[in-house]
Structure 1
Amino acid sequence: MVVCTAVFCSVLWGSAFPVLKVSYDELQMAQDDTIAKIVFAGVRFLLAGLILLAGLLIFNRDRLRVTGKQFMFLIIFGIIQTALQYYFFYNGLARVSGMQGAILISSGTFFTIVLAHFFYSDDRITAKKAFGLIAGFAGIVAANWGQDFELSFRFTAEGFMLLAALTSSIGTIMAKELAVGIHPFTLTGWQLTIGASLMLMIGVPQLGDHAITFTPLGWGLLLYAALLSTTAFALWYSILKFNKAGEISMFKFITPVSGVILSAIFIPGERLTVKIMGALMLVAIGIIAVNYTGARRRSRGMRRS
């Protein structure tokens, strides 16, 4: 059940790439309309955050209680982990393919490994992790290699996707260091609600006429995007509570794999190529390498416990 749940969460996160790309076309959002992307992201994550907080209010309202100091952290965390990260993500994804975006965003796993090396004395970069980093970043470079064997890089496209991944990694370190005493569901619910509210406060007053044209399919895609965030986060944190983070995180290699495959299926004009498949394999190998602990090490840990 743990393996199935981890795989299910990773597939859900992977499905976000084609869903958002199709949403942009369905809602007739211009590629360069930054404000429309901010508003769309704000509505999605406000829905997701409120669903989580409402669930806590109904089933375990004690977990909603936070101190003043914790709430100040939640405000900062919401700005960085939701508002800033998804500003980069939504606007970057509008300028790259769904398959390319799925591979680029996976760089967050490797950024986290590098940051952990400097923050934690017991989490240094080993030879195994170095191999994983090299393989992973090689895959990301390969995904951006053009048909003419030239590296394609635009700051507001590929650059924004990498910044989204880096911001997510910084948020991961912040959550581990500062979110003391805050339940993961509470942290996620407030983080999404606060960050999304900021995005809407900035975006709605500047939203142009007809910048977003909602259709029944558009509303359905928005609702699915909100529910996938709520479901994936809730299930992921549930299995993390009872299992080792390193062993569970290994399954995140499925996110770029499912993102690429689903993009090829659902986004018109996108198809799997030898270059994309090679890049995807390198990224998957890298994620597995930096997270895999090995049966021998796991058995030693079980004997010690």
Structure 2
Amino acid sequence: MTAARFFTHPLGVIAASVAATLLWGSAYPFIKLSYLHLHIGQAETFEQLLFAGYRFTLAGILIFIYMTLRKESIRYQRGSGTQVAWIALLQTVLQYTFFYAGLSMSSGVVGAVIAGTISFFQILLAHFFYKNDKLSGTVGVGLIVGFMGLLILGLSKHGGESGPLFSMGELLLICASLFNAIANLLSRRAAASYSIPYINGYQMLLGGLVLCAAASWKTGLFPFQFDWQAGLMLLHLAIVSALGFMLWNNVMKYNQVGSVSMYLFLIPVFGVIQSAVLLSESLTYAVLAALLLVSLGIIIVNRSKGVLKAAKN
């Protein structure tokens, strides 16, 4: 079966979409498990950044291996440097600096719920940067529903007391989602000129090396005691980045965006479930309510945008 036939068959679309979102959802517990196994503390920011650097350097190499097996050139393409550098800065360096630090201060289930806001930030930003991507009334409703989930998450910890709505860890995770959304829009623009594996391979490799360099002056390049378990967790996280994007972008390539993007609601769902199982984290009513609203918001905005796009075609 050819790639086109697989990724356009209903069962193929479901299988690839579920696999990609399952992989992405697993990142939250596996990062926290890696911290525990390698004894990376909440305040050890440079160690967190170095581990992230390992992950994305390895992910970039895996993508280049994939491109080589497909006989796709990995040679540098003139003119791509500036775009790749900006995407690497936002998607890998800034996003994961905030994400890894924020996740060390928050639970995996909270991190997974907040990750769902990436779709909402991306849609809001697209409204201002693209003339043909304006908000509709239904999309606006979806955004309100989704951000209500975030509000419930913040209010649930107060119990009527005054104080910041979100903890420092949660604020860092929200900033990470914003950086991810901006980078996705830049990647969308770059994809008009370069292949998606080329963009992601180079931006992950570049971003990973920058993270390693920024952290290693303080920690050294190899401060961790890796055993086979830590090695497998690192490999899994690299595969999450490399394989997850390859599956998802093939689904997006062969299908209408609106018909498949609603599967994004599975990322926070899988993230919450896997964090609860693997980390033994409790699922409070507030977390479940926030997850429901964020997931519903993702479905509403992506289904609505898909219907609008189909109507225009």
**TM > 0.5 fold call:** yes
Partner SS for 2:79: helix
Give the structure 2 partner of residue 111 of structure 1. Answer: 121
* Cα gap change, 1:181 to 1:296, in 2 (>3 Å): closer
2:227 matches 1:226: no
Q: Is the 8 A contact 1:143 1:276 kept in 2?
A: yes
Q: Is the 8 A contact 2:48 2:100 kept in 1?
A: yes
Pairing partner for 1:34 from 45, 58, 66: 45
Give the structure 1 partner of residue 20 of structure 2. Answer: 9
Q: Is the 8 A contact 2:139 2:304 kept in 1?
A: no
2:276 matches 1:285: no
Q: Which whole-Å CA distance do the structure 1 matches of 2:307 and 2:41 have between them?
A: 53
Range with bigger deviation, 225-234 or 204-213: 204-213
Q: How does 1:77-88 map to 2 (within 5 A)?
A: 77-88=87-98
Give the structure 2 partner of residue 137 of structure 1. Answer: 147
Deviations 1:161-198 (A, max 9, x none): 01110001100111122443210111111110010011
Range with bigger deviation, 13-22 or 49-58: 49-58
Q: Which whole-Å CA distance do the structure 1 matches of 2:270 and 2:88 have between them?
A: 27
Partner SS for 1:228: helix
% identical equivalent positions: 32
Deviations 1:191-212 (A, max 9, x none): 1001001111111121169963
Question: So what's the TM-score if we normalise by structure 2?
Answer: 0.89
Q: Which whole-Å CA distance do the structure 2 matches of 1:236 and 1:87 have between them?
A: 24
Aligned residues: 299
Q: Which whole-Å CA distance do the structure 2 matches of 1:137 and 1:251 have between them?
A: 18
Deviations 1:35-67 (A, max 9, x none): 0011000001111110111221232233x2443
Q: Is the 8 A contact 2:116 2:295 kept in 1?
A: no
Point out where structure 1 has 5 or more consecutive residues left out of the alignment: none
2:295 matches 1:275: no
Pairing partner for 2:133 from 98, 123, 132: 123
Deviations 1:256-300 (A, max 9, x none): 0111111111103x1112111111100011000100149976875
Q: Which whole-Å CA distance do the structure 1 matches of 2:82 and 2:286 have between them?
A: 45
Q: Which whole-Å CA distance do the structure 1 matches of 2:107 and 2:121 have between them?
A: 22
Partner SS for 2:80: helix
Q: Is the 8 A contact 1:99 1:263 kept in 2?
A: yes
Q: Which whole-Å CA distance do the structure 2 matches of 1:79 and 1:140 have between them?
A: 26
Partner SS for 2:133: coil
* Cα gap change, 1:123 to 1:206, in 2 (>3 Å): same
2:167 matches 1:154: yes
* Cα gap change, 1:178 to 1:99, in 2 (>3 Å): same
Q: Which whole-Å CA distance do the structure 1 matches of 2:166 and 2:200 have between them?
A: 32
Cα deviation for residue 12 of structure 1 reads 0.9
Give the structure 2 partner of residue 264 of structure 1. Answer: 276
Q: Which whole-Å CA distance do the structure 2 matches of 1:295 and 1:137 have between them?
A: 21
Q: Which whole-Å CA distance do the structure 2 matches of 1:285 and 1:232 have between them?
A: 22
* Cα gap change, 1:101 to 1:299, in 2 (>3 Å): closer
Partner SS for 1:227: helix
Q: How does 1:69-108 map to 2 (within 5 A)?
A: 69-108=79-118
Point out where structure 2 has 5 or more consecutive residues left out of the alignment: 1-11
| Aligned AA (1:154) | S
Partner SS for 1:113: helix
Range with bigger deviation, 187-196 or 66-75: 66-75
Q: Is the 8 A contact 2:139 2:305 kept in 1?
A: no
Deviations 1:214-262 (A, max 9, x none): 2322111111111121111111111111112222211010000111111
Q: CA RMSD in A?
A: 2.1
